[in-house]
Amino acid sequence: MGDASATEPEQGEPGDSVIATRGLTKRYRGGQLAVDGLDLTVPAGSVFGFLGPNGSGKTTTIRMLMGLIEPTSGTARVLGRPMPRASRAVLPHVGALIEGPALYGFLSGRDNLLRYDAADPTADPRTRRTRVASALERVGLTAAGGKKAKAYSLGMKQRLGLAGALLQPRRLLVLDEPTNGLDPQGMREIRSLVRELASDGTTVFLSSHLLDEIEQVCTHAAVMAQGRLITQGAVADLSAGVRGRLVVTTPDTGDAARVLKEQGAADVVVAEDRVTAEPPERDLAEVNAALVTAGVRVRGFGVERASLEDAFVALTGEGFDVAG
Ligand SMILES: Nc1ncnc2c1ncn2[C@@H]1O[C@H](COP(=O)(O)OP(=O)(O)OP(=O)(O)O)[C@@H](O)[C@H]1O
Ligand SMILES: [Mg+2]
């Protein structure tokens, strides 16, 4: 391993990071500190979820990674090379979909892609039509390929932007909110497409403000809040240290809620035939016994697996809301 990686660090090897930032910071001209000292490490081969509420700095980070804006301070390496300096060498290996893809409204979706492909000097013109047709197919736009882009819905524009990122096989795909504007079926399609690309060995970096979306598709994640990195790592590890909620299913919700509070449970919430709470720091067998002794008819009793949202709340002490 040693020799090759010493002479060609940009080639990368399994286990290498595909994106690495150190102290990456962006303060916009108006004074807004959008990204604050970000240290991000995206392992090769991962599906990496970049998670954070609206305004937390996701798009700003992605713009810096793609060399579209200069950081105020700090560094970003993509495929082992510094950005924005190595943009010309790096960007041909990266497919990107960034907020509001630029489209020619007067051209059809297919013609937009043909034109986009033609702007890539490495793309063979003889195979252009095939490439465009298969990209349209992959994002489910074959039937709508002839329609003018200005007549596309938000979800269709998003799909077209994604098709542009898929024209060539890439080592890295950077997708800023790829399911924005899509309906649930469209979101499922994008998720399965992402899994398919990842199984072909492409590293996928995608941003989202939807926690469950990240949980469903990502192997790794980073959580941002107000421009700062809260945590990053394997998705399974992020929520592993966090206790899930205690869930009691019962027709006697009022009594159950009272007993749980007496037993030291916090944040007790009743919804239909379920009472959920933060589990108390004691043997849950005793909590269950106390419910039964109090005459609560218990249908179900257990601790739900912690979600990323639980982890986020535990880490920030806040809900997953937009910061001011
Ligand atoms: N061009 C700009 N000039 C000044 N401030 C900006 C600019 N772009 C973004 N900001 C500010 O920087 C912060 C981060 O914005 P950014 O777009 O990176 O967030 P985001 O996480 O992508 O949000 P969303 O989920 O809504 O897409 C916000 O407070 C935003 O108002
Ligand atoms: Mg954004």
Q: Is residue 114 part of a domain?
A: yes
From 25, 26, 27, 32, mutation site for ligand 1 pocket: most ligand atoms within 8 A of C-beta:
32
Q: What is the pTM of this model?
A: 0.79
**What is the tally of structural domains in the chain?**
2
Question: 292: domain range?
Answer: 246-305
- 265 with 213, same domain? no
Which residues, at least 6 apart from 236, have a Cβ–Cβ distance to it below 8 Å? none
- 69 with 25, same domain? yes
Looking at the CA of residue 61, tell me the nearest atom of ligand 1.
18
CATH number of 268's domain: 3.30.70.100
Percent of the chain with pLDDT over 70: 90
- pLDDT tens per residue, range 188-211: 888 888 998 899 899 999 998 877
- 221 with 291, same domain? no
From 26, 27, 28, mutation site for ligand 1 pocket: most ligand atoms within 8 A of C-beta:
28
The predicted structure's pLDDT at residue 284: 92
Smallest CA separation from ligand 1 atom 13, residue: 34
Q: Is residue 322 part of a domain?
A: no
The predicted structure's pLDDT at residue 317: 65
- 186 with 255, same domain? no
Residues with CB under 6 A from ligand 1: 28, 30, 32, 34, 52, 54-60, 209
Comparing 185 with 287, the larger pLDDT belongs to 287
The predicted structure's pLDDT at residue 320: 56
Which amino acid is it at 196?
Answer: E
C-alpha closest to that of 112 among 137, 138, 88, 147? 147
**Is there a contact between 50 and 206 (Cβ–Cβ < 8 Å)?**
yes
The predicted structure's pLDDT at residue 319: 59
How large is the average pLDDT for residues 10-34? 82
Comparing 323 with 160, the larger pLDDT belongs to 160
How far is Cα 233 from Cα 42, in angstroms, rounded to an integer? 9
Q: Which residues of 164-174 are buried (b: 16+ CB within 10 A; e: fewer)?
A: bbbbbebbbbb
- pLDDT tens per residue, range 88-119: 999 989 999 988 778 899 999 999 999 999 98
The predicted structure's pLDDT at residue 241: 67
Phi and psi torsions of 166, nearest 5°: -100, 5
CA of 40 from ligand 1 middle (Å) equals 18
Q: CA neighbours within 13 Å on the CB side: how many for 69?
A: 18
- 203 with 255, same domain? no
**Is there a contact between 103 and 112 (Cβ–Cβ < 8 Å)?**
yes
- 252 with 103, same domain? no
Question: What would the DSSP string read from start to end of 3-19?
Answer: HHHHH-GGG--TTSEEE
CA of 166 from ligand 2 middle (Å) equals 21
How far is Cα 324 from Cα 322, in angstroms, rounded to an integer? 7
The predicted structure's pLDDT at residue 249: 97
Find the ligand nearest to 68 CA: 1
CATH number of 148's domain: 3.40.50.300
- 207 with 185, same domain? yes
Task: Please check the confidence at residue 257 and state whether its pLDDT lies above 70.
Answer: yes
Instruction: Write out the residues surrounding ion ligand 2, Cβ under 5 A.
Output: 58-59
Task: Please check the confidence at residue 11 and state whether its pLDDT lies above 80.
Answer: no
Comparing 11 with 65, the larger pLDDT belongs to 65
From 29, 40, 60, mutation site for ligand 1 pocket: most ligand atoms within 8 A of C-beta:
60
Which contacts of 179-182 are long-range, i.e. CB under 8 A and separated by 24 or more positions? 179/208, 179/210, 179/213, 180/154, 181/153, 181/154, 181/155, 181/157, 182/155, 182/158
How large is the average pLDDT for residues 3-19? 53
Q: Which helix (H) or strand (E) element contains residue 259? A: helix 253-262
Q: What is the largest CA-CA distance in the chain?
A: 78
Strands 33-38 and 17-27: antiparallel
Find the ligand nearest to 52 CA: 1
**Is there a contact between 305 and 238 (Cβ–Cβ < 8 Å)?**
no
CA of 243 from ligand 2 middle (Å) equals 30
How large is the average pLDDT for residues 71-79? 97
The predicted structure's pLDDT at residue 318: 64
E-strand ranges in the chain read 17-27, 33-38, 41-43, 47-51, 73-78, 81-83, 94-97, 172-176, 203-208, 220-225, 228-234, 246-249, 266-271, 274-278, 300-303
Among 17-31, 198-212, 254-268, 305-319, the minimum mean pLDDT is found in 305-319
Task: Please check the confidence at residue 2 and state whether its pLDDT lies above 90.
Answer: no
**Is there a contact between 163 and 136 (Cβ–Cβ < 8 Å)?**
yes
- 208 with 79, same domain? yes
C-alpha closest to that of 238 among 315, 304, 316? 315
Q: Is residue 87 part of a domain?
A: yes
- 196 with 115, same domain? yes
Q: Is the dihedral of CA 188, 191, 195, 201 positive or negative?
A: positive
